[in-house]
Chain A
Amino acid sequence: MQIVIRNIIRFILVLLLQVLILNNLENLGLANSFILPQIYILFILLLPFETPTWLSICLGFFIGLLIDFSLDTEGLHAFASTTLAYIKPRLTKSLSPRDGYDFNSEPTLRDQGINWFLLYGSILIFVHHFLLFFLEKLAWSNFFSTLLTVLLSAAFSLILALIYQFIVYQKKR
């Protein structure tokens, strides 16, 4: 039960972070159009291993749709995060250690270690950002500038995901 509440709190937290701060970076003059970090997908990334795939897909669609509401992007984020949620259980399965994940452990930095999370996080974040920005542009003409956006934004999202976990999980250690 505790794990459900923790995920609900995380859901609200990353949503607020994304909508109130990260989506306004450009307005605040703190970023250019190449760096558009998306922290909200951290919610999908950190869903427990036991989450059924259908549930994580629904949640992915839901949180993506909420971001779409705030940005008027009409299903763009919903599509990218639905796909992310669909891939996630497959990736965790293929990344699992020989004797499986520990009981009750979560796909977090604390439970799985930095190497595991870096690999896991960078793959999923890259896939998500790739879908997001290429679907947004819908043109291969600016391939390299879009790819630059993807890479820079993904790097920033990953760093933010690490910082988030350092801050939130510090006390529990």
Chain B
Amino acid sequence: MKNLVELISKFKDFIIYIFFSSLSLYLLFSNGFYHQNSFLNSSSTLMGGIYDRTSSISDYLELEERNRELRIELALSKMKNQESSLDLNNEPIEIIDSLSVLQYFYRPAKVINKTTGYNENHITINQGSINGIKVDDGVISMGNSLVGRVCKVSEHFSLVTPIINAEFALKVSLKKNNVDGLLTWNGSDIQYAQVEEIGKRTDVQSGDTIITSGSSAFLPQGVVVGYVTEIVPNGDVLDIEIELKSDYTKLLDVMVISNAFRTEQKEIEAKENPEVD
């Protein structure tokens, strides 16, 4: 017995070492124990609180990269959307995956320059012909509201004519009854634009939503333009003032929409009616 005590005291350190190292190896290789005890891991109140504070610093530093990822993700998810696809259901094709083809491509882009104080404002974005952008492609904001259309394309950049450009004109319609009108801008306030050519008997109330009509070849139908704020009768038509949904002062990221079938649509329209947009 005395020998045993001596032996233990001689190997005391080793025994303690074996105890603690096997305890840590047990923690390492038994998956259940650690995760069941939430006070032991980094999501516990103490560690969570510390990480909450420090992560705000690293979050800030990663912001650029995360933004880029989000833009790409959003563009991808929009392409998966049903509205981006042209229905080919009438074709006698039996392959399930080919029932529709992608009509609208969404490409994320970054606003690198813009003017808002002029009569003919422009926005410069960091995507150009090399990225597949063509003149007359539609431009929308991340919040799915209309921004404008591409008017010039260089290799790496594009110039966008926004709604707030006196030269901008586009067919739009009222969401509730699909009555068409013409969207223009009178140059006074970058938050408001005008819709003309809506008949005076049309049922319009302030607060109604104005969307793109889809009759123009460069944008899908249903992109929100703005909301009616003021209706003034002017002879046979109504002059409608709308509040734009896109906030041009805060515009940072946009998406460029390319219609894969635009040339085709234009061609067939040009034969019958050369004046269509």
Report which A residues bind B (CB closer than 8 A): 19-20, 24, 27-29, 53-54, 57-58, 60-61, 64-65, 68-76, 78-79, 82-83, 86, 89, 135
- Closest-CB distance, B262 to chain A (whole angstroms): 42
Complex alpha-carbon distance, A65 and B47, angstroms: 13
Q: A27-B62, A72-B41, A72-B42 are in contact. Are A86 and B17 (CB under 8 A)?
A: yes
- Closest-CB distance, A163 to chain B (whole angstroms): 21
The B50-70 residues at the A interface (CB cut-off 8 A) are 50-51, 54-55, 57-58, 61-62
A61 touching B24, Cβ below 8 Å: yes
* Given A57-B17, A71-B42, 9 more pairs with CB closer than 8 A: A54-B12, A57-B13, A58-B16, A65-B24, A69-B47, A70-B47, A78-B23, A79-B24, A82-B20
- Closest-CB distance, B10 to chain A (whole angstroms): 12
Complex alpha-carbon distance, A73 and B34, angstroms: 10
Q: Can you pick out 21 interface pairs between chain A and chain B where the beta carbons lie within 8 Å of each other? A: A24-B54, A24-B58, A27-B62, A28-B57, A54-B12, A54-B13, A57-B16, A60-B20, A64-B24, A73-B28, A75-B24, A75-B28, A75-B34, A78-B20, A78-B27, A79-B28, A82-B17, A82-B21, A83-B21, A86-B14, A135-B28
Residue of A nearest to B44 (CB): A69
Q: Provide the residues of chain B in CB contact with A28, threshold 8 Å.
A: 57-58, 61
Q: Provide the residues of chain B in CB contact with A82, threshold 8 Å.
A: 17, 20-21, 24
Complex alpha-carbon distance, A61 and B16, angstroms: 11
Q: Provide the residues of chain B in CB contact with A70, threshold 8 Å.
A: 42, 47, 50-51
Interface residue count for B (Cβ, 8 Å)? Answer: 28
Q: Is B25 an interface residue (CB 8 A)?
A: yes
Q: Is B261 an interface residue (CB 8 A)?
A: no
A58 touching B20, Cβ below 8 Å: yes
What does DSSP make chain A's interface, helix, strand, loop or mixed?
Answer: helix
Report which B residues bind A (CB closer than 8 A): 12-14, 16-17, 20-21, 23-28, 31, 34, 40-42, 44, 47, 50-51, 54-55, 57-58, 61-62
B27 touching A75, Cβ below 8 Å: yes
- Closest-CB distance, A36 to chain B (whole angstroms): 16
Complex alpha-carbon distance, A165 and B62, angstroms: 33
Q: Provide the residues of chain A in CB contact with B31, threshold 8 Å.
A: 74
Q: Provide the residues of chain B in CB contact with A54, threshold 8 Å.
A: 12-13, 16
- Closest-CB distance, B49 to chain A (whole angstroms): 12
Complex alpha-carbon distance, A72 and B51, angstroms: 13
Complex alpha-carbon distance, A7 and B28, angstroms: 28
Complex alpha-carbon distance, A64 and B27, angstroms: 12
Partner of B13, one of A20, A53, A64, A78: A53
- Closest-CB distance, B17 to chain A (whole angstroms): 4
- Closest-CB distance, B12 to chain A (whole angstroms): 6
Q: Provide the residues of chain A in CB contact with B40, threshold 8 Å.
A: 69
Q: Provide the residues of chain A in CB contact with B42, threshold 8 Å.
A: 69-72
The listed residue with most A CB atoms (<10 A of its CB), out of B21, B31, B34, is B21
Complex alpha-carbon distance, A72 and B41, angstroms: 6
Q: A75-B25, A75-B28 are in contact. Are A19 and B44 (CB under 8 A)?
A: no
B44 touching A79, Cβ below 8 Å: no
- Closest-CB distance, A145 to chain B (whole angstroms): 21
A79 touching B50, Cβ below 8 Å: no
Residue of A nearest to B58 (CB): A27
Q: Provide the residues of chain A in CB contact with B54, threshold 8 Å.
A: 20, 24
B41 touching A69, Cβ below 8 Å: yes
Residue of B nearest to A16 (CB): B50
Partner of A29, one of B23, B41, B50, B61: B61
